[in-house]
Structure 1
Amino acid sequence: MTGLVAGVVVALAPLPLPAGATTTTGVATVAAPSMAVAPYEYFGWGNPQSPTSVMSATGIKFFTLAFMLSDGGCNPRWDGSRPLTGGNDQAKINAIRNAGGDVIVSFGGWSGDKLGEKCSSAPALAGAYQKVINAYHLKAIDIDIEASEFSNGTVRKRVIDALKIVKTGNAGIKTFITFGTTPGGPDSTGVDLIKKGAAAGLDNDGWTIMPFDFGGHSGTMGAASVSAADGLKKAVKNAYGYSDTVAYSKIGISSMNGKTDEDDETVTLADFRTILAYAQQHHIARLTFWSINRDRPCGSGSDADSCSGVSQSAYAYTKVFAQY
């Protein structure tokens, strides 16, 4: 860059770009955070696709792998039963990494025994998380806190305190917390979870809502998702005292593609494009969905875990979010 001072041309140092920004024509563009788009895939059921085939077909590099559960005690196992290492799950992770990708491991989910409940203290729970982090040298983890793990205030606090321990012991690791929502944003339980995080001083990288299974609402699922995300941003801003810009950078959206668990509720491709535009406008921390297994049309004998229930081409939903 050059400037004119008293008729003399002088060289100026280049202005620093924002974090994550790139430039090819002199105009800075802010990129999505690393691993922001990591759709869920689960290898235990739902006729899972080859992750490397998904990468080739869609261009995505990252996957959120579900779910890490308790084996009945304070010990992590895939779906509570498959071995932590040495099995098919590790083989798939190795294949993803060999193809230039990476994974986020998700703990929890709706069903099964949760580590947050089976581990009796925050240090013990952090130790269970750490076993998985060490086993796979993870750069990010997701706590999908649902059902009785979410509804119990003691367990919510245990999860928050355990994640703070994990953050302290693993420099640079990203943590995401995923939970349900109303169309207007987190309910009182979700707000309490965020407040517990702020009170504990947890610098969580992404408070992520699941804007579906609303049980009735007006308008499109895209509009409802945007409304829910704005409510989440407000809750995070109020709890932490962030600016609007920072608060947006600390939230995420985890949608569901096609027919949801509610009989009359469908998240369309147009809804995904609405959500994508919101993410691009506000530079949110995470944009994901449940799930890759479902990102294909239903064939004869297909179930809700292995197809979307709507007319679509294979990976149509993944390709929308991959643009982030």
Structure 2
Amino acid sequence: MSKRFPGRRLSPVRLTVLVAIVGTLVASTVVGWNRLEDVRAAANGGSWFAGYVDATATPFYPFEQPASEQGKSVVLSFIVADPAEDCRPSWGAAYSLDEAQSELDLDRRIARLIQDGGEVAVSFGGLINNELARTCTDVRQLTSAYRAVVERYNLTTIDLDIEGEDLADSEAAARRAEAVAALQEERRADGKPLNVWLTLPVAPSGLTLQGTDAVTTMLEGGVDLAGVNIMTMDYGGSREPGVSQLDASVAAARATHAQLGILYDRAGTSLGPQTLWKKIGLTPMIGQNDVPAEVFDLEAAAAFNAFALETGVGRMSMWSLNRDATCSDNYGNAKIVSDSCSGIEQDGTLFADVLGAGFEGRAATLNSAPTTDEPTPELVVDDPETSPYPIWSEEATYVLDDRVVWRGKVYSAKYWTSGDLPDNPVLQAAETPWTLIGPVLPGEKPVPVVTAPAGTYPGWDAEKTYEKGDRILFDGHVFEAKWWNRSDSPEAALQTSDASPWRKFSNDEVQDVLEELEP
């Protein structure tokens, strides 16, 4: 015989209340789980700092010799379309990739920074000149142009700085998204993922309509965006009177955070608030901005850094490392923006140190710090067949700008020197006559010597007396007399002896001579 539980039946009202309570508990559990997943996802992305470097601005900024630890990660700017060839990448429309190596030593300087534990990303676009997608209308050629830069510098992170007329060009935006998505897919298949950041102008109210369209085009085009980096600078009329540069920048960041959530939702990807902060980068213009009334000082930098760390933004940058110094006394008007100083008194403090404090991740490895367990380096034996410059000799004499190779690295003489080891450890740079340029690059060969044909100048005559400034030809090389001499063979000058009365012309000088003699 069975026994029934003597409880009461639930009334319809009580049943409705119970269902509501259970529903609330389930919803709370789901929300809690989603928040946990959001926190986990955000934790997988590192927060990193890298200052922009204008690679072609003069005087050239020595990014390979960072002023502090925070300067060891850089975003080199800007790769744009070559004015003479629509689909060929160039540095600032001034140097081809090969010219940047030969004239700026760019490849070697990049290699040196990376060898020393630094990291390099490259930015395409900028306000001046045309981003490649603007002029290169063939998507396959555009993909090849991006690929050429990524492969040449072995990049893991690129930055697409889209502003001005480039931002208004919707057709270029579609080409850009298609090409970058294709390149990302290639790299992913080869086990070399490519992080892509989209850098955009911003107002205190957030991204402009063109800016949100740019994000949408990238997402719809299949680009896996590492994040959107906003230029918190040059607000002009969008910054209301009485609102500080700092407050405008914080407002811009918060507004962009809300906008990105909507844009990702529309693209079919819902991201939690913390994950969204990891997809935001902040780039203030340090010191004096292009707008005279806008100044971003060190106090604002400290507060902006605190805001970024508190919210957990994925990236902090600044424009630019070139400008991270107090202007000299002879700089006339600090309100006029300089390429090489901030326009404000910094009292020895670097903006990079202030803005970068607490950002310990890396763009490439996303929160993976570099290992400290480094193998003992092997002794490098220099090979004349692969060394681009003569191998240093203890017996030779070197003068200003002479280049040598020693233990796998290229050095340049700062002044007359003989017998001084290029890699001799010193406490201060002033103690050595050598400047380290960077490593010998894979595949390098000796730099060809430019010679002059017979008849360019008279051949050397041991019986003739020469005056200062006289020029001769010896074994295809051009020499100029440094002082009165007779019977002194130029052979000693070929061995870089400073005691020789003859100075051997450099490759560039011989080339200039040959060009002058052309009909």
Where 2:49 maps in the other structure, the secondary structure is: coil
Per the TM alignment, residue 20 of structure 1 is displaced from its structure 2 partner at its CA by: 8.9
Which of 1 and 2 has greater Rg? 2
Residue 85 (structure 2) pairs with residue 69 (structure 1): no
Do the aligned partners of residues 195 and 223 (structure 1) sit closer, same or farther apart at CA in structure 2, a change above 3 Å counting? same
Separation in structure 2 between the aligned mates of residue 20 and residue 183 of structure 1, nearest angstrom: 25
1:270 — aligned with what? 299
Q: How does 1:85-96 map to 2 (within 5 A)?
A: 85=98, 86-87=101-102, 88=104, 89-96=106-113
Residue 57 (structure 2) pairs with residue 45 (structure 1): yes
Residue 281 (structure 2) pairs with residue 252 (structure 1): yes
1:310 — aligned with what? 344
- 1:83 aligned to which of 96, 102, 125: 96
1:178 — aligned with what? 199
Per the TM alignment, residue 91 of structure 1 is displaced from its structure 2 partner at its CA by: 2.4
Residue 240 (structure 2) pairs with residue 223 (structure 1): no
Per the TM alignment, residue 204 of structure 1 is displaced from its structure 2 partner at its CA by: 0.2
Are the equivalent residues in 2 in contact too, given 1:223–1:271 (CA < 8 A)?
no
Q: Deviations over 1:33-85 (max 9, x none)?
A: 3xx21101123114233224325x34432100011111131011111231314
Per the TM alignment, residue 277 of structure 1 is displaced from its structure 2 partner at its CA by: 1.6
Q: Deviations over 1:221-247 (max 9, x none)?
A: 111111111111111110112221221
Where 1:74 maps in the other structure, the secondary structure is: strand
Q: Deviations over 1:189-210 (max 9, x none)?
A: 1111112223233220011110
Do the aligned partners of residues 192 and 113 (structure 1) sit closer, same or farther apart at CA in structure 2, a change above 3 Å counting? closer
Aligned AA (1:214): Y
- 1:205 aligned to which of 190, 212, 226: 226
Q: Cα RMSD (Å) of the superposition? A: 2.1
Aligned AA (1:308): S
Do the aligned partners of residues 314 and 119 (structure 1) sit closer, same or farther apart at CA in structure 2, a change above 3 Å counting? farther
Per the TM alignment, residue 19 of structure 1 is displaced from its structure 2 partner at its CA by: 7.2
Higher mean alpha-carbon deviation, 194-203 vs 37-46, is at: 194-203
Separation in structure 2 between the aligned mates of residue 134 and residue 228 of structure 1, nearest angstrom: 35
- 1:127 aligned to which of 141, 144, 149: 144
2:445 — aligned with what? none
Aligned AA (2:74): F
User: Using CA pairs below 8 Å that are at least 6 residues apart, which structure has the higher relative contact order?
Assistant: 1
1:146 — aligned with what? 163
Aligned AA (2:139): A
Stretches of structure 2 that go unaligned for 5 or more consecutive residues are 1-38, 266-270, 360-519
Aligned AA (2:353): K
Per the TM alignment, residue 174 of structure 1 is displaced from its structure 2 partner at its CA by: 0.7
TM-score, with normalisation over the residues of structure 2? Answer: 0.54
Separation in structure 1 between the aligned mates of residue 320 and residue 122 of structure 2, nearest angstrom: 14
Higher mean alpha-carbon deviation, 133-142 vs 209-218, is at: 209-218
Do the aligned partners of residues 212 and 133 (structure 1) sit closer, same or farther apart at CA in structure 2, a change above 3 Å counting? same
Separation in structure 2 between the aligned mates of residue 182 and residue 304 of structure 1, nearest angstrom: 23
Are the equivalent residues in 2 in contact too, given 1:32–1:283 (CA < 8 A)?
no
Separation in structure 2 between the aligned mates of residue 274 and residue 174 of structure 1, nearest angstrom: 28
Separation in structure 2 between the aligned mates of residue 31 and residue 139 of structure 1, nearest angstrom: 15
1:104 — aligned with what? 121
Are the equivalent residues in 2 in contact too, given 1:292–1:315 (CA < 8 A)?
no
Per the TM alignment, residue 256 of structure 1 is displaced from its structure 2 partner at its CA by: 0.4
Stretches of structure 1 that go unaligned for 5 or more consecutive residues are 1-16, 22-29
Do the aligned partners of residues 204 and 317 (structure 1) sit closer, same or farther apart at CA in structure 2, a change above 3 Å counting? same
Separation in structure 2 between the aligned mates of residue 109 and residue 197 of structure 1, nearest angstrom: 18
Are the equivalent residues in 2 in contact too, given 1:58–1:315 (CA < 8 A)?
no
Higher mean alpha-carbon deviation, 113-122 vs 168-177, is at: 113-122
Where 2:95 maps in the other structure, the secondary structure is: coil
Per the TM alignment, residue 314 of structure 1 is displaced from its structure 2 partner at its CA by: 4.5
Separation in structure 1 between the aligned mates of residue 350 and residue 264 of structure 2, nearest angstrom: 37
Do the aligned partners of residues 143 and 40 (structure 1) sit closer, same or farther apart at CA in structure 2, a change above 3 Å counting? same
Separation in structure 2 between the aligned mates of residue 205 and residue 154 of structure 1, nearest angstrom: 23
Aligned AA (1:42): D
Q: How does 1:154-193 map to 2 (within 5 A)?
A: 154-171=171-188, 172-193=193-214
Do the aligned partners of residues 212 and 154 (structure 1) sit closer, same or farther apart at CA in structure 2, a change above 3 Å counting? same
Per the TM alignment, residue 18 of structure 1 is displaced from its structure 2 partner at its CA by: 5.2
Aligned AA (2:292): D
